Amino acid sequence: MSFKGLFSRSLGADPERLHFAAHSHHLWPDASFEGHVEAWNDAARLADRKWDKVMDEVWPAAQAEVAAELGTGQPDAIVFAPNTHDFLVSLITAAPRRGFGPLRILTSDGEFHSARRQFARWAEEAWVAVDRIAAEPFDSFAERFLAAAQSGDHDFIFVSQLLFGSGRIFGRVDELAALGRPDGPWVVVDGYHAFMALDRPFAGAVGDSAFYLGGGYKYAMSGEGCAFMHAPAGFGPRPRITGWFAEFEDLTLPPGSVGYAKDASRYLGATFDPSALYRFTAVRRMLAENALTTEGISAHTAGLQERLLGSVAGTALADAELLNPLDGGPHARFLAFRSPNAQRWYATLKARNCITDVRGDVLRLGFGIYQDEGDVDGLVRLLGEIK
């Protein structure tokens, strides 16, 4: 089955392109264009009053969609920001320190660059002390990370649910989340590569004691500017990094007061571009109208991944190490192939208008609903022509 008709604008903009970077800049569906136009029209029609619609209609609709997708059933625990780095800064400065000295952070050596870089820079100033658990060997990572988290030696625990470099899944989120306490440690799960790739990735009681970060840039197909955080009640009632939107519900406070909303909007900053929320809710409507669930999309992409893996013999990928094999269970929306030739393969494919992604010696091939079997066959042909 093909869903290309939902992406006519993006596909029509470059009909000859093969785009296998759905895990990076996911192509935008037509619905996102319609949502963006709606945001512009509301700004023109309502002017200053547009914020009434944004905060009374668009914002809660987006909260409800995120909470439903996560499986938490807690829309009031969702807050939005332009990117997850904003949330990371807010969380680190809000997290309680137990004892004296720097904030003690536990993380992995496989985190995305925003966390890796920021933690490293803070460590240079001795603001934080960082323990990093090696992601490899992959098969024992979850057990090793959880054991370190259970040691009680850390104030702030940060890990990706799905590691961006290898596509491996940290499958013990529920056990990790159970360690979270308002007075520390705080548990933060980076779900950027899990949100709308894994079905209900934060379901159950985990949302009562852990934070979750994600966004619309990848599998939510909504572009930049639509990052979100699930913030459990009672964790950081008065964040140190704060903007005036954090008291949006009570602008009647006396001058000089620093008030906070009671829900997750206590973590809000200041004025933001709401167009990303319009795009996100428009895309979610499109998915509902076409009966496209995360589970169904995952089944579609899994079929494409299987087709590729069944055809790599005789291609450049034949001797590469597949870091995240298919095992019939939940899986990343990309395949990660490790090889010393990864950078060259990426450049060669790019020169032929086939867009992939490379991280060091790992070539990542991403899959989405704008691809069909013909696209996979086209990629296989190109792979068979390079060495």
Q: Let me know the angle formed at the C-alpha of 178 by 204 and 72, rounded to the nearest 5 degrees.
A: 25
Report mean pLDDT in 10-residue bins for the chain, 387 residues: 94 98 96 98 97 97 98 98 97 92 96 94 97 97 98 97 96 98 98 97 97 96 97 96 79 76 94 97 98 97 98 94 96 98 97 96 98 98 92
pLDDT value of position 387: 74
The burial of 55, by beta-carbon neighbours within 10 Å (0-12 exposed, 13-18 middle, 19 or more buried), is given as: middle
pLDDT value of position 248: 64
**Two tokens, residue 33:** 């264009």
pTM above 0.85, yes or no: yes
pLDDT value of position 250: 57
**Two tokens, residue 86:** 């904003």
Q: Which domains does the chain have, with CATH numbers?
A: 4-29+293-385 (3.90.1150.10), 32-286 (3.40.640.10)
CA distance 173 to 160: 10
pLDDT value of position 30: 98
pLDDT value of position 289: 98
pLDDT value of position 251: 59
- On whether the CB atoms of residues 142 and 172 are closer than 8 A, the answer is yes
**Two tokens, residue 324:** 């995240």
pLDDT value of position 99: 80
